[in-house]
Structure 1
């Protein structure tokens, strides 16, 4: 690899997307490339307490997202963030890429940017880079199976198979006709007091249509990168490939990268592991519904009732903004935390928890990062989904991989939680399937494995782009 190859990595500015693309950046750094990781100003300020990078080839830069500092940037305001990123963010991004890719832009011991890897949900980032003359690769932080569902969204609408909490099978997603139901299709976020984000009118939320269009737009990039492995999602990858210029399945990236890097927007509780140390093997339920899920106080009570009924100890990540209506959840009011039976924290070192011997199952929203992290550690899952790709992932966990239990759209959550947690904690079949998957994923990321080989191919591909496009292309900045 030519030492001058320099990749600008630009994630969608939410925690799960940042984590995943930072792991990609770590893999590229391990391969000897220069990397600029592009945050928003708002997020970079939140990361100010993070330790400085250990690699001289990693540079952190930021651009404005166009929103005021006190904007919540929560799941209820995702459209605000998207609109602002397309306007203010895209203009700042264009200026940065133009300056960074110029032959005059080498500074801080970094050569000019020769390639952009942009989060595929930001189609503008692909277009802007290519217009400037910098080759662009799309990266999607979702699973291949959910990406295929998004890619099929327009077809689903034509067939009248819009997302809805129904067991009606769908035929509009290739390769999934035998098991995917309307309730398993990606949905927009719902209000915490309701069980669904849509009625049965066939009207699909514009956010989902936009995600479908962004997925199709990835076909205009030089390639698509997915954080998955061929062993997990070979069928979905095969259906995606004809729509893309090239596809790289390089996951699980959190395990593939040789160097561990984190970029948490919340402070992780540092007492979790010591608390787990005091428990027996596979005796604790780990509960985390991710960085965006919002629930009602009634749902909180039902979850607590279900967990208490299992008799198992649990550790629960309960963000301050997680309960709807602006209610600050007080641990004293709930009577939780600080004892041997239960621990409630605002944020936690999830990967360390999942690999701990005391954890028996993971009650999760089935976000793809969490799903991969549990799969890699062989931890059975209970999936209670909130929106988007999580609904497809949870169906695969339950019905395809058989590594957990899917309880989406269940009205009696207290009963469902108790039953599902017991099943995940006690089923020999589920645990065996989870451990089999973990063994395979470790082979995938090991030297010579499918994902390891795909990362090497990606690095070579970036090098070819550098030789083909950057040595022989004059950028607008050079011609001015």
Structure 2
């Protein structure tokens, strides 16, 4: 029987996106996969009609299971308060999760003993529940951190940041001052670049900070850490992370690795439903009409704007962005989720609506990988979430970064200062700033030319890592062998 991997993501769009890609890769490598969603997330996947869910549901050795998240059905489940959701799962869903790890539990086995007992758990690093219960049952656990490697190391550095006085930053302090508590980043990391969960806490006793310290300690308890990145992209921080968790598998970009492992596999037939173009597991219904609109635009002319699945903007911020985009004179494709704008901010000035009809396209959700790969897209105004950042790097599209939450602040600094594939606009969104940034990246000056050159080079490097013989391709094979070794040990 094939080794059986139980894969469980944190219940949020960005986490599910990365984790479902890894789960499909494990299936393509010949493993039996159980993918565990919360009931709320599973219902949203069903409602979005995303082809990824249907394709995976039809595979013979891939199954979806659900557990409750412990929250009332009408709870907004704000991901900004992610620690509350994690606590609910840890305290109220424990037995439901445990049942999935019991041989023959949660659906049982057939007469031939199928599905096989769980060999290994691959869990989101934010889910203490997944590690604790599996340890109690003597099931090996590997942790996936679906955020960036640079943010993982910054969070691991919390004790040093406390020691250096960079936790509980006073309001009057210079936010552009350099931080000394994150090894390897002393020359470029400013206070304003710290992940928001560090930057915004008032003291070292903050409950969020204590939660993160607990999560970081779990890294050293796991059998391995899995990261959606490449050895080259994060060569600056990987040696530091290895001091906390010595066994690290860098297996990104996952979407490219999927394509490398897809040829000739039994799942190829199912891929024909969507051309194998996207593996997003989207919780929102994608508006595919924007691709046709992009077809009508000149090459490298369009500004693609998306602030991801969590960012919320005020009416004032919305209008400033809008003025800046219109003032740049460039056509733009803008994703505005139904829940992205604060209540009461639905109306915009008439002149902006008129300008948008002339050269803009607004959608509630877009097929992002396809959009970024489209020849008409010239830059990406992004919230700097890790999935979006990596997808933009793969596509070779320069970025304008406006981070909002979590790892996004430090990601944007790496985009501008380390990888040099974009510009950082954090903490600013005035119309003149937005317009100026768009012109800087899109126009034919020295800055724009250098960014496009760097983005193209980085795209080639990232893609090669996921091709046969590349570092991520090889690391994924080592990961599969590691999982198989648990099965041999158990026998």
The DSSP-based 3-state class of the residue aligned with 1:70 is coil
1:120-139 equivalence runs, <5 A: 120-139=125-144
Which residue does the alignment assign to 1:151? 156
1:400 to 2:421 alignment: no
What is the alpha-carbon distance in structure 2 between the residues aligned to residue 387 and residue 252 of structure 1? 22
Shift of 1:89: 2.2
1:87-112 CA-to-partner distances (Å, cap 9, x unmatched) read: 11233111222245899746895322
The DSSP-based 3-state class of the residue aligned with 2:144 is strand
Alignment TM-score, normalising by the size of structure 2:
0.88
1:3-25 CA-to-partner distances (Å, cap 9, x unmatched) read: 52111110000000000001101
The DSSP-based 3-state class of the residue aligned with 2:252 is coil
1:454-465 equivalence runs, <5 A: 454-465=475-486
Cα 1:204–1:145 shift into 2, 3 Å: farther
1:446 to 2:467 alignment: yes
Which residue does the alignment assign to 1:175? 184
What is the alpha-carbon distance in structure 1 between the residues aligned to residue 286 and residue 484 of structure 2? 37
What is the alpha-carbon distance in structure 2 between the residues aligned to residue 26 and residue 348 of structure 1? 22
Which residue does the alignment assign to 1:24? 22
- Contact 2:90–2:128 (Cα < 8 Å) also in 1: no
1:418 to 2:435 alignment: yes
1:71-150 equivalence runs, <5 A: 71-99=75-103, 105=109, 109-150=114-155
The DSSP-based 3-state class of the residue aligned with 2:89 is helix
Where does structure 1 lack aligned partners over 5 or more consecutive residues? Answer: 190-195, 472-480
Alignment TM-score, normalising by the size of structure 1:
0.90
What is the alpha-carbon distance in structure 2 between the residues aligned to residue 83 and residue 336 of structure 1? 47
What is the alpha-carbon distance in structure 1 between the residues aligned to residue 287 and residue 407 of structure 2? 28
The DSSP-based 3-state class of the residue aligned with 1:231 is coil
Which residue does the alignment assign to 1:384? 402
What is the alpha-carbon distance in structure 2 between the residues aligned to residue 98 and residue 329 of structure 1? 53
What is the alpha-carbon distance in structure 2 between the residues aligned to residue 251 and residue 424 of structure 1? 26
Which residue does the alignment assign to 2:214? 213
Where does structure 2 lack aligned partners over 5 or more consecutive residues? Answer: 263-275
What is the alpha-carbon distance in structure 2 between the residues aligned to residue 449 and residue 161 of structure 1? 38
Root mean square deviation, CA, Å: 2.4
The DSSP-based 3-state class of the residue aligned with 1:322 is coil
1:59 to 2:77 alignment: no
Cα 1:208–1:300 shift into 2, 3 Å: farther
The DSSP-based 3-state class of the residue aligned with 1:13 is coil
2:328 is aligned, of 269, 285, 310, to 310
Q: How many pairs does the alignment contain?
A: 459
Shift of 1:154: 2.0
Cα 1:334–1:311 shift into 2, 3 Å: closer
What is the alpha-carbon distance in structure 2 between the residues aligned to residue 395 and residue 100 of structure 1? 48
What is the alpha-carbon distance in structure 2 between the residues aligned to residue 322 and residue 333 of structure 1? 22
Cα 1:209–1:310 shift into 2, 3 Å: farther
The DSSP-based 3-state class of the residue aligned with 1:62 is strand
The DSSP-based 3-state class of the residue aligned with 1:17 is helix
Shift of 1:372: 0.3
What is the alpha-carbon distance in structure 1 between the residues aligned to residue 106 and residue 392 of structure 2? 42
Shift of 1:331: 11
The DSSP-based 3-state class of the residue aligned with 2:332 is strand
